[in-house]
Structure 1
Amino acid sequence: MPAAERPRLRTRLALVYAAAAVVLGAVPVAVVGLGAWTARSTQAVGDPAGPGTASNTGSVLLAVVAGLIVVALVAAPIGWALAGRALRPLRELTAAAEGATADRLPAHGELGRYEEFADLSATLAGLYTRLDVVYAAQRRFVADASHELRTPLTVQRTLIQVTLADPDADARVLRAGYAELLRIGEQQERLVAALLALAQGQQGPVATEPVDLAALAGEAVATRPGCTTDLRPALVAGADQTLLASLIGNLLDNAVRFNHEGGRVEVFTATRGTRAVLTISNTGPVVPEDAVDRILRPFQRLTTPRTQSGGSGLGLAIVRAIAESHGADLRVVPNPGGGLTVTVAFPTVP
């Protein structure tokens, strides 16, 4: 229904107040009218009618109706004013919401003296706080993504300028420059693919079906030799197979990339109670306890630059997004000797 055609709550409240006042006012008016009413003449039959003995029903009814009209006329503006006063907090909340932007969210305390308005105000304040956190994370992500994409572009431009400025550049130098440009281009492709995977993970499952973690992990390990496996059936209820394959692939890629020469990667799947559990553990550099939350955020690494590690800094952020979209519990624990143990517990099929 268009906004112009919707009835106003203030009008309805005022009419209800006026109607209630008329109904309640009818009682005393009727009592007074009954007290003054003489329904019939007390004149003896056959005697001529006297002026003081005629029925006053008409005049009493007229007085009662006039009294009710007066009550209605007085009650209507009073009800309008009271309704406006009662609905004032709603107008303030509406004005605050209309002025909200991504850069400026309203911050206000409780509005109104009534519990309902105070609860609504507190709820909206909590919503604005959560939105502020989301907008801040989005701005930080965009800034980080811009930086990550700008860095290889700057390197490409510098490489081309240096090569063109070299008067003695021969075919070998040009081939070396082209090879480096191809490597940087492939790095950018991986970064864009990781950004798309992160967006898909945050969007959540598109098609849901029971998925066996053991089967997906087996397929992923087959393309990454050197992993130790203990794969037992672990059926996830209502999962997106493509997203779960991306989650396992990112965990394995991280476990292989950030590892020692000759280190180990262990993959385990099983069903524990009402959870289908995936655990991937590796050796590698020591990860401080206070760095776990940071490396789960996009573009966050310990100390190794992306240009040296070959990673995009999005692997664990993708894992976290996919796990949250599937209602899974994600647990990342640093190993005492170095490396991480990542456990993801999904709801299993009953």
Structure 2
Amino acid sequence: MVRLSMVRLTARARLALLQTALVLAAGATLAGLTYLLMRRRAFFTHLDPSGPDPSGTLPPMPAPAEDLRAFADRVQTDTLSALLTQAALALIVVTALAAMLGWLVAGRVLRPIRVISSTARRLSAENLTERVPVTTPADELSALAGTVNDMLDRIQRGVTERDRVLDSQRMFTANAAHELRTPLTTARTAIDVTLDGNPSRAELLAMAGDVRGAVEHMQRVLDGLLLLARSQAGLGAREPVDLAAVAAAALDAAQARAAAADLAVRPRLRPAPVRGEPVLLERMIGNLIDNAIRYNRPGGHLLVDTDTAGGRAVLQISNTGRQIPPGQAETLLEPFVHGQQTRVRTDSLGLGLSIVRAVTLAHQGRIAIAARTGGGLDIIVDLPQKSPRH
């Protein structure tokens, strides 16, 4: 029961009790030492009756040895008794004062902690802007307040990042559902319209073509989503890959499309070796070149540059095209964004640059995208040439 009642005491009460106990122990020790010293002095005086009286006064007149000894014993007893009584009273008064001062001091010392506690109780996931005031001078309590504020900053950043990720995931899910629902709607409409009556062979073939096109579109969407998920899941085995060789192969594969669009291709391919997953790197560079051709303008140009700098392999792709507002360039890295102010239907899925960013991040690389002054984009991807150590 005693231990339970002590546990229920507040920190202020425990601190005040501790201070009071320390004062009481120190006072009792001081009184006990004084008493022992006085007894020691009285003992030596008792051995030498000719010495001064313990009270500090001399006897009024000489007396026989027996009377002097009895007088000394009586003075000794009275003095020690008075000392104990006065010491006990003084100790009680000092202990009471120590208890009151200890309570006040404990409250003042614990005030910053109460402020921290009340601030923490007011905080929630919807309100993380309030901070604990840091007192001066710099001491343990101000350090505690600073630590709590740093923790709140990290929590706020985490909650903000969580909300951003959740919003991005909701947007991604909605766009993916829309991208898959559109070809399904197209296929169903074609089937309903064609089978409403007695369709001819030509109408059935046209319906089959529409359904096949819708299925192919859904397959491209699913392939892009799977590749995006694979890129975000991390890499498997890493192999030596030269970005220059991969870019040269991608340009060869896109040569006919570039010629049909009347584009001037300007490759400057210098060795840029890295260690990574070849399939993902090929898809990354292929998507960049495909995007640069798809959104270019007739008679424009396409620049593909590979090199190394500071222990990193650098890939730069620049293309002409329509004018893009500078603030909109970064949004092109989001899934299902086609570079329009509003989401529109195109023959592109809007996953190309999202996959590029995912592959870049999977290789611990960096990607920078900027709108060109005359139209088009500048995209720079740099990857570490050595595999990061985990």
Fold shared per TM-score above 0.5: yes
Hey, what does 2:355 align to over in structure 1? 318
Hey, what does 2:339 align to over in structure 1? 302
Hey, what does 1:277 align to over in structure 2? 314
Shift in alpha-carbon separation, 1:113–1:278, aligned structure 2, 3 A: closer
Structure 1 counterpart of 2:303, which letter?
Answer: E
Give the % identical residues. 32
Partner of residue 86 from structure 1, selected from 113, 116, 123: 113
1:246-274 Cα shifts (integer Å, max 9, x gaps):
32121122123223457554322111334
Structure 2 counterpart of 1:133, which letter?
Answer: R
Shift in alpha-carbon separation, 1:277–1:16, aligned structure 2, 3 A: farther
1:275-334 Cα shifts (integer Å, max 9, x gaps):
311122334444343431232222222359998642111211222333345443423344
| 1:257–1:309 CA contact under 8 A, matched in 2 | no
Hey, what does 1:109 align to over in structure 2? 130
| 1:306–1:312 CA contact under 8 A, matched in 2 | no
The answer to whether the aligner puts 1:144 opposite 2:178 as a matched pair is no
Cα distance between partner residues in 2 of 1:200 and 1:28: 75
- What SS does the aligned partner of 1:110 have? coil
Structure 1 counterpart of 2:355, which letter?
Answer: I
Equivalences for residues 154-173 of structure 1 within 5 A = 154-165=185-196, 167-173=197-203
The answer to whether the aligner puts 1:267 opposite 2:288 as a matched pair is no
- Structure 1 stretches lacking a partner, 5+ long: 1-7
Shift in alpha-carbon separation, 1:261–1:174, aligned structure 2, 3 A: farther
Larger radius of gyration: 2
Normalising by structure 1, what TM-score? Answer: 0.71
Hey, what does 1:289 align to over in structure 2? 326
Q: CA deviation at 1:158?
A: 1.6
Shift in alpha-carbon separation, 1:94–1:225, aligned structure 2, 3 A: farther
Structure 1 counterpart of 2:269, which letter?
Answer: L
Cα distance between partner residues in 1 of 2:117 and 2:353: 43
The answer to whether the aligner puts 1:193 opposite 2:220 as a matched pair is no
Hey, what does 2:4 align to over in structure 1? none
| 2:338–2:348 CA contact under 8 A, matched in 1 | no
Normalising by structure 2, what TM-score? Answer: 0.65
Q: CA deviation at 1:50?
A: 6.0
Shift in alpha-carbon separation, 1:343–1:51, aligned structure 2, 3 A: same
Cα distance between partner residues in 2 of 1:160 and 1:141: 29
Partner of residue 368 from structure 2, selected from 331, 334, 338: 331
The answer to whether the aligner puts 1:184 opposite 2:214 as a matched pair is yes
| 1:247–1:322 CA contact under 8 A, matched in 2 | yes
- Structure 2 stretches lacking a partner, 5+ long: 1-6, 48-65, 136-144, 257-264
- More displaced 10-residue stretch of structure 1: 322-331 or 338-347: 322-331
Hey, what does 1:212 align to over in structure 2? 242
Aligned length: 330
Equivalences for residues 49-88 of structure 1 within 5 A = 86=113
Cα distance between partner residues in 1 of 2:158 and 2:199: 61
What is the Cα-based RMSD across aligned positions, in Å? 4.5
Shift in alpha-carbon separation, 1:33–1:326, aligned structure 2, 3 A: farther
| 1:271–1:277 CA contact under 8 A, matched in 2 | yes
